[in-house]
Structure 1
């Protein structure tokens, strides 16, 4: 089949509805090979195993491991000649800089970048309060996420997007109101919000960890500036953040001086 050869993975598991939606949507563009976890691997970040069991699946390969395991197994041996890795579609948003390292969905895209394979991670932001898990249960509910992913898969490479970005983190809103569902208005280029609202509360012998961002979003308290991923999805826009994988490094005088002083102080008597 003409078109790109795509490794499709995720962190919700190979049988999740969002994964099936992307598989079916992307299969009309190219050759899609599933290499995805056998079960839910949400929030495992870049966790890796020493060895994983792999079983044939009707869509490709089912891996008893993490999303990063899937990417390494796929690009390393199962389907090393792919043109692109797509990870998703995750049920739940992956927005904000602090989320990037803990998300299994995003981590799969990061891992692909180290193989020099461009990647796209895709998530569905569900604005429905405590009932969000009860929504997006049908592949059709992921239609906007699928359409956005198809568009980027079809055009990003030839447009030169991956000459500057290692991967794209895409978040698509699914917003329910009393009057009906709000359709995404447009696709906008964003950067991850740096707002951080994690906290902790002692509860006897237990400490509860709390991510207060979601409560703020449910209440409409979105103070993130224009241009951020969180602001975009809250306003019904499809957020696309172009990102690079390696941690940035920068030499500066203060640390260079400390390193030199350490040498001087530890030379000892001659």
Structure 2
């Protein structure tokens, strides 16, 4: 299979710098790149899906008043049904770790594409811990490593048979500014990784009678206290390498003897529980 046409989407919005960076790189490599991306910021919406969306013509393709998953469905089923590959990004901020994958709109667009049997690449750029992405004045050069890696993978991964074994690639690249990341004049090396399993979310009360959620992972990254072992996406990106995680679309399934046994005994156990057919609830006879 050759790659000629690319559906490009993201979750930050169609007019962001990271999106332009990938569009420019992929177009310069000779691909027909058609944008089908959110008209506004849709970060962290996961695989949220709409019933109806408004689509506007845009100089790069189409701006969709919807989520990244909307863009993948609308694009692959109606606007760009002949797309050979879906590329999502470049996200301004990393998408690292197992617990992030389901939240990320960028990754979710790639997951949605997988259900259409279309190879997909989700690309994000790591903004150093402790920095607020909204306060950065980003330009195309900052995305040099993300763009170069994505272009390389589009050029070679399909032909190499990568997508015969996986559904999508989750790519996280360092920021190419020469200070907080590798020098943009030098290629950041690629490491094939697995998403980190470390999870350190918690919550605490605030004086205003609210509850604030904390992601302690970013605090640990800021102080250099990185618990992730070698081979994980977070370890690779903090040490200046491009993380490429080959993944399958959710959800994997496997039989377990204990669960099989429970299913077999369902009708004979807890016979004292009656189902209330009128309201769909169950009551127990004591």
Normalising by structure 1, report the TM-score: 0.94
Q: Are residues 1:82 and 2:83 paired?
A: yes
**RMSD over aligned Cα, in angstroms?**
1.8
Per-residue CA distance 1:89-117 (angstroms, 9 max, x = gap): 00000000000000000000000000000
Preserved contact between residue 95 and residue 229 of structure 1 (Cα < 8 Å): yes
Question: How far does residue 129 in structure 1 lie from its aligned partner after superposition?
Answer: 1.9
2:251 alignment partner, SS class: coil
Q: Are residues 1:199 and 2:202 paired?
A: yes
Query: How many angstroms apart in 2 are the aligned matches of 1:74 and 1:224?
Result: 37
Q: Are residues 1:163 and 2:167 paired?
A: no
- Give 2:222's aligned residue: 218
Query: How many angstroms apart in 2 are the aligned matches of 1:58 and 1:256?
Result: 55
Per-residue CA distance 1:71-128 (angstroms, 9 max, x = gap): 0000010110110000000000000000000000000000000000000000000115
- Give 1:260's aligned residue: 264
Between Structure 1 and Structure 2, how many residues are aligned? 266
1:240 alignment partner, SS class: strand
Query: How many angstroms apart in 1 are the aligned matches of 2:152 and 2:118?
Result: 18
Per-residue CA distance 1:109-168 (angstroms, 9 max, x = gap): 000000000000000001152344333611121111100000000000011100011000
2:28 alignment partner, SS class: coil
Query: How many angstroms apart in 1 are the aligned matches of 2:136 and 2:129?
Result: 8
Distance 1:136 1:167, change over 3 A: farther
Per-residue CA distance 1:27-85 (angstroms, 9 max, x = gap): 12310000000000000000000000000000000000000000000001011011000
Within-5 A mapping of 1:44-83: 44-83=45-84
2:197 alignment partner, SS class: coil
Distance 1:180 1:33, change over 3 A: closer
Distance 1:175 1:58, change over 3 A: closer
Which one of the candidate residues 221, 234, 240 is aligned to 1:236? 240
Distance 1:136 1:85, change over 3 A: farther
Preserved contact between residue 175 and residue 236 of structure 1 (Cα < 8 Å): no
Q: Which runs of 5+ in 1 are unaligned?
A: none
Normalising by structure 2, report the TM-score: 0.89
| Higher radius of gyration, 1 or 2 | 2
- Give 1:117's aligned residue: 118
Preserved contact between residue 181 and residue 240 of structure 2 (Cα < 8 Å): no
Preserved contact between residue 84 and residue 117 of structure 1 (Cα < 8 Å): yes
- Give 1:249's aligned residue: 253
Q: Which runs of 5+ in 2 are unaligned?
A: 273-286
Within-5 A mapping of 1:135-214: 135=136, 137-174=138-175, 181-183=181-183, 185-203=188-206, 204-214=208-218
Question: How far does residue 174 in structure 1 lie from its aligned partner after superposition?
Answer: 1.6
2:89 alignment partner, SS class: strand
